[in-house]
Structure 1
Amino acid sequence: MRVVSLVPSLTEAVALTLPGVLVGATDWCTHPAGLDVARVGGTKYPDLDRVRALRPDLVLLNVEENRREDAESLRAAGVPVRVTYPRTVPGALTELAELLAELGAPAEPAWLRAARRAWAAPHRLAPARRAVVPVWRRPWVVLGGDTFAGDVLHRLGVINAYDRHAERYPRPNLAELRDQRPELVVLPDEPYRFSADDGPEAFPGVPCALLSGRHLTWYGPSLAEAPALLADQLSRPTLAG
């Protein structure tokens, strides 16, 4: 089996579970450290000629990370693809187990069993706090409902102010965000790299929690440590202004 992954989460999952199966990955696939496979460009604009040249038996994609036209182009060229789309933690765990079994894993890896245990009863904010969750700036984009990251936060005691919005990634302006009067602003460091110096100043007087974007949005081995790490970061917000 020869696999090319265009999804950083799945790159890590496959590389750690089935060494030797992965033959290609994107330039953004940073885990596991020292991964030695062919690089095929970015997640949004991969070099499909390079992908095809690797003669993969399967290419891994994700609805949010990758473009539909790339999946269709690969299919048209006769390259098998698998498109993932987890929107909840249980859904991600199930998809991972099914994928790894199909790729030849004889049993669930230890990291996946650890992730199941970690998410069975994660530590939650008490009391739960109503929050806005920007994932981009210039323009502002926030986390809406029906998203994997939204489910992660829900399970940790965060009430997303935009959970029932018609769009999965609404684009309110800053005034609209402030009008929500959140008790907490959650600022992940990816895809936009919010930091203590870039983000909290837009919400004076509101506690801001800086989160690991990888642990908030990746579904793979990072799921095992995500509940404890994110819960700790959520419990130590900073106050700007």
Structure 2
Amino acid sequence: MQITDQLHRILHIQKTPKRIVSLVPSQTELLCDLGLKDSLVGVTKFCVHPNTIRKEVAIVGGTKQVHLDKIKALQPDIILCNKEENTKEIVEACAQISKVHVSDIFTIEDGLELIQQYGAIFECSDKASRIIEKISSEFENFQQFVKDEPTMSVAYFIWKNPWMVAANNTFINYLLKVNRFENVFEHKNRYPEIEFSSSGAIVKADLILLSSEPFPFNEIHQKEVQEIITDARVKLVDGEMFSWYGSRLMMAFQYFKTLRLNLQHTQL
């Protein structure tokens, strides 16, 4: 079998991989939803779904720093990476150990393509098709729901000290557009640091979204930001819904619908 991954790298796969190392949390969740949990031999410390996975499978480090010796000792048939989550150096080092598949996700279509590729690589195309159908249906229903909703300007915060936001060329920015949220930092690239303090906030938006990851924003931060930006609504949001692709998308659109409904019934 010949597979071209999402970086256009060609993989020649002679037989179905039975020992998998996943270096991406959302892809680990997808593998488990595809029925491949028993084939996982290595995951990252950030792979939190399903919630038992880190007790059942060897942890090989994080997403930016991995223990190559641990990965090699696991004798994987394939290592699954992502362009954003993992560095080029990690991908190149892993390629010296085993075959490496790299995903690159910017749209729903990219996510569906990845699921389809995993279905082919791991011979679970029927399960992959069912997940794809579920996501496609949920996406279509949400598009119908949101099409008449008002556009809102938003800033999506991912980090504090320094303050950082999601900007253009990110999956988060794509999903904000799907929600009819207009990213006030779309003119910037990726995840820029921004100037933001009690002495002079430069953020002008209808809505401030504080993500639960990678920085764990909570009610204390919500209150802090609300005191600085008094003319916008500040809400805590589930970062997994806005940044995880794969099977998490089966739940994301219902979450977005609930978020919109809550915005309709709350006032500043």
TM-score for both structures, normalised by structure 2: 0.82
Cα shift at 1:235? 4.1
What is the correspondence of 1:20-59 to structure 2 with a 5 Å cutoff?
Answer: 20-35=38-53, 36-59=56-79
- C-alpha contact (below 8 Å) 2:21/2:79 kept by paired residues: yes
Read off the aligned partner of 1:192 and give its amino acid letter: F
| Percent sequence identity over aligned pairs | 28
More helix by share: 2
User: Which of the numbers 206, 216, 227 marks the counterpart of 2:242?
Assistant: 216
Computed over aligned residues only, the root mean square deviation of the Cα atoms, in angstroms, reads: 2.1
User: Which of the numbers 81, 96, 103 marks the counterpart of 1:84?
Assistant: 103
Matches of 2:201 and 2:141, distance apart in 1: 32
Cα shift at 1:48? 1.1
Cα shift at 1:102? 1.6
What is the correspondence of 1:32-181 to structure 2 with a 5 Å cutoff?
Answer: 32-35=50-53, 36-75=56-95, 77-107=96-126, 108-122=128-142, 123-124=145-146, 126-165=149-188, 167-174=189-196, 178-181=201-204
- Give the ranges of 4+ consecutive aligned residues of structure 1 lying more than 6 Å apart after TM superposition: none
Cα shift at 1:186? 1.2
Equivalent residues, number: 238
Matches of 1:129 and 1:196, distance apart in 2: 22
Specify the SS of the correspondent of 1:172: coil
Which runs of no fewer than 5 residues in structure 1 stay unpaired?
Answer: none
Matches of 1:132 and 1:154, distance apart in 2: 12
Which runs of no fewer than 5 residues in structure 2 stay unpaired?
Answer: 1-16
Deviations 1:154-207 (A, max 9, x none): 101111011132x21121111699434201111111011112211342223310
- C-alpha contact (below 8 Å) 1:132/1:177 kept by paired residues: no
Matches of 2:255 and 2:161, distance apart in 1: 28
- C-alpha contact (below 8 Å) 2:168/2:187 kept by paired residues: yes
TM-score for both structures, normalised by structure 1: 0.90
Instruction: Report the structure number with the largest CA radius of gyration.
Output: 2
Deviations 1:3-28 (A, max 9, x none): 10000001011122133222211111
Matches of 1:53 and 1:86, distance apart in 2: 29
Where does residue 225 of structure 1 map in the other structure?
251
Matches of 1:150 and 1:56, distance apart in 2: 34
